[in-house]
Amino acid sequence: MSQAIDAGRPLTVLTEEERMFFDSVKEFAQAEVKPLVSKMDQEAHLDEGLLKKLFEMGLMGIDIPEEYGGAGGTFFMSILAIEALAQADAAVSVVVDVQNTLVANAIRRWGTDEQKKRFLAKMAADTVGAYALSESGAGSDAFALKCRVEEKGDGFLLNGQKLWITNAGEAGLFIVFCTVNPDLGYKGITALLVERGTPGFSIGKKEDKLGIRASSTCELIFENCAVPKANLLGAVGKGYKVAIETLNEGRIGIGAQMVGIAEGALGHALGYTAERKQFGKPLNAFQGVQFALAGLHAEVETAKLAVYNAARLKDGGFPFLREAAVAKLVASLMADRVTAEVVNLYGGNGFTKEYPVEKYFRDAKIGQIYEGTTFMQLATIAKAIMPE
């Protein structure tokens, strides 16, 4: 079996600290994640020992402040970690992605001092977070929620279901978006911090997915689930702000994941075409193959620049709504094209599970679906560029 060549060299826009961080995560991914990829994919289960190592490496609390036990890094460093991990396994990458760009990010921005002390410390140490927004009738129409919450005594009573919740199988903390009244539309949306084991809360069906199979995606069920008022994230009826603003940042994370997937696939293609011989010479001796590889490399680098740009804008405190949508759009479309072409370069071997590239192809597909479909990104970009 061919060996992958490094197709994910960091761009020169990285600082020395960022480059060292990227290299350390990539080294970890190749040493600790890569040997487990096939087994985790087949079993559709994240290795528990690997999850523990992600915490030990500080990758589950990259930009959680040091005062809460986190690494105190930047959003951009989270993006680098997501990219580096996705080169080995997109499923592991998305676990880190949701933890950092969605859950910890939302608590840092919207949580009370007490919530930060309590929950961020747990997330930095050993608690996986999940972001529960989607429902059967609330996908792209994210605020058509039916999951209801009502004030009851000194707390809230939560009833309803959530679907397609990433990290649900491992999570100990969930940000649950619900509504005080569906007739109020987005003005009724409320965010609650719900801990695993809360009476009335259970994990339902686990989805059997095409790709990112080691990442758990499950249904959540709430039946008169009592949540204390201290677990209200933000304000009643203001949960839509938590969701929208957090998802804008999460989309940059998905863009990074797609870049990493494409880099991983292309790295294998570079190795394979150097070893595989036809007509008496390596595949990469043919100009057609050289041009194909060069074109794929150019696509990866272009999408990477869009992702890095959006992340830099976020860290710099500049507006990044349009740039985040662009990053996710171009990176997800690119990953789909690149992984498909890599399978083609492998020929019949690319269609078998003996070689690693079919998994990259399967994993890339989700990029055009979750955290805002391709159509939703186009709608966001169109709204941003159209004159008033």
Active-site residue (options: 170, 249, 358, 371): 371
The residue behind tokens 């990176």 is: 331
Q: Is residue 79 a contact partner of residue 311, using CB atoms and an 8 Å limit?
A: yes
Beta bridge partners of 156: 151, 227
CATH of domain 130-237: 2.40.110.10
**Among the four given CATH numbers 1.10.1270.20, 3.40.50.1820, 1.20.140.10, 1.10.8.870, the one describing domain 241-385:** 1.20.140.10
pLDDT at 124: 98
**Got the DSSP string for 101-137?**
IIIIHHHHHH--HHHIIIIIHHHHHT--EEEE--BTT
Q: Which of 206-210's residues contact partners 24+ apart within 8 Å by CB, and which partners?
A: 206/44, 206/168, 206/169, 207/164, 208/44, 209/44, 209/366, 210/362, 210/365, 210/366
Q: How many CB atoms lie within 10 A of CB 386?
A: 7
Tell me the backbone φ, ψ of residue 262, rounded to 5 degrees.
-65, -40
**Got the DSSP string for 45-75?**
---HHHHHHHHHTTTTSTTS-GGGTS----H
Q: pTM (2 decimals)?
A: 0.95
Tell me the backbone φ, ψ of residue 321, rounded to 5 degrees.
-55, -55
Tell me how far apart the alpha carbons of residues 87 and 257 are, in angstroms, rounded to a whole number. 8
- Spatial neighbors of 303 by CB under 8 A, at least 6 apart, are 255, 258, 259, 262, 327, 330, 331, 334, 335
| Burial (0-12, 13-18, 19+ Cβ within 10 Å), 66 | exposed
| Amino acid, res. 266 | L
Q: Is residue 75 a contact partner of residue 245, using CB atoms and an 8 Å limit?
A: no
Residue extent(s) of CATH 2.40.110.10 domains in the chain? 130-237
**Among the four given CATH numbers 1.10.540.10, 3.90.550.10, 1.10.1060.10, 3.90.1640.10, the one describing domain 16-127:** 1.10.540.10
Tell me how far apart the alpha carbons of residues 208 and 223 are, in angstroms, rounded to a whole number. 25
pLDDT at 138: 87
| 10-residue stretch averages of pLDDT, the chain, 388 residues long | 66 85 98 98 98 98 97 97 98 98 97 98 98 92 91 94 98 97 93 98 98 98 97 96 94 98 98 97 98 98 97 96 98 98 98 97 98 96 93
pLDDT at 141: 87
Residue extent(s) of CATH 1.20.140.10 domains in the chain? 241-385
Q: Which of 101, 138, 45 is nearest to 376 (CA)?
A: 138
Tell me how far apart the alpha carbons of residues 267 and 277 are, in angstroms, rounded to a whole number. 18
Tell me how far apart the alpha carbons of residues 26 and 97 are, in angstroms, rounded to a whole number. 15
pLDDT at 11: 57
Task: Give the 3-state secondary structure of residue 92.
Answer: helix
Q: Is 275 a catalytic residue?
A: no
Q: Is residue 189 a contact partner of residue 135, using CB atoms and an 8 Å limit?
A: no
| Burial (0-12, 13-18, 19+ Cβ within 10 Å), 27 | exposed
Structure tokens at 166: 């990433």
Angle subtended at Cα 141 by Cα 140 and Cα 142, rounded to the nearest 5 degrees: 85
